[in-house]
């Protein structure tokens, strides 16, 4: 089963009524300080297009804003976090139809990245993936040690390689980010 959705998550002191003037759908959850706005299962203008921003204007008007889109069928996710009209972080893991890679990186690393993308668990999965050459033959031990050292540097520096798969990602990172922030979404999609 594939999963696709996008939404704005806003932490604000503004009333729900004020948010409803801007957004067609506004939902609150008692167990989360984030308000879910315009939760969609449709494509919106600029989605998965590098160079397009979603959150700065909204964060200027309402306060801290996160935009997340998850599309598992094409292995894509988009994350944007703004406050006071400024981008804090923007990451896009996008597919070109053949493979998914890091397509956009902006701002400073956030705490969730170390726990999710640069975790030891993801390091182990990535190391398993790079053990083999293009013919699916196991790399010689010396070459494998070199790959492991390269990966360790990427992890220690929390470095993304644009237009590459490293660090290893996938569309479900968007869901993990929501969990990190304690963001709830309508369960009707599951």
- Residue 46: the pLDDT is 87
- Residue 133: the pLDDT is 81
- Checking phi first, is residue 128 left (phi over 0); if not, alpha (psi -120 to 50) or beta? alpha
pLDDT tens by residue, 82-123: 999 999 999 999 999 899 999 999 999 999 999 999 999 999
- Residue 188: the pLDDT is 58
Q: Is the dihedral of CA 114, 120, 126, 131 positive or negative?
A: positive
State how far the Cα of 75 lies from the Cα of 171, in Å rounded to an integer.
5
pTM for this model (two decimals) = 0.92
8 Å CB contact between 60 and 85: yes
What string of DSSP letters covers 33-92? SPEEEEEESS--TTTT-TT--SSHHHHHHHSEEEEEEEETTTTEEEEEEEETTEEEEEEE
Helices and strands per DSSP (H, E), number in the chain: 6, 7
Which secondary structure element, helix H or strand E, spans residue 20, and what is its range? helix 16-22
């Amino acid at each position: 089963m594939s999963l696709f959705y996008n939404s704005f998550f806003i932490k604000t002191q503004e009333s729900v009524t004020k948010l409803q003037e801007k957004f067609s759908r506004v939902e609150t959850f008692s167990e989360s300080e984030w308000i879910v706005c315009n939760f969609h299962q449709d494509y919106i203008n600029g989605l998965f297009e590098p160079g397009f921003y979603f959150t700065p204007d909204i964060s200027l008007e309402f306060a801290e804003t996160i935009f997340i889109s998850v599309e598992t069928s094409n292995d894509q996710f988009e994350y944007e976090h703004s406050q006071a009209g400024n981008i804090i972080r923007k990451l896009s893991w996008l597919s070109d139809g053949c493979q998914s890679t890091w397509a956009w990186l902006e701002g400073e690393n956030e705490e969730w990245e170390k726990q999710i993308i640069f975790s030891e668990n993801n390091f182990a999965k990535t190391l398993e993936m790079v053990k083999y050459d293009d013919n699916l033959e196991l790399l010689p031990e010396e070459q494998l040690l070199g790959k492991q050292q390269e990966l360790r540097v990427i992890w220690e520096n929390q470095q993304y390689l644009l237009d590459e798969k490293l660090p290893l990602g996938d569309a479900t990172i968007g869901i993990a980010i929501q969990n990190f922030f304690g963001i709830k979404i309508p369960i009707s999609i599951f």
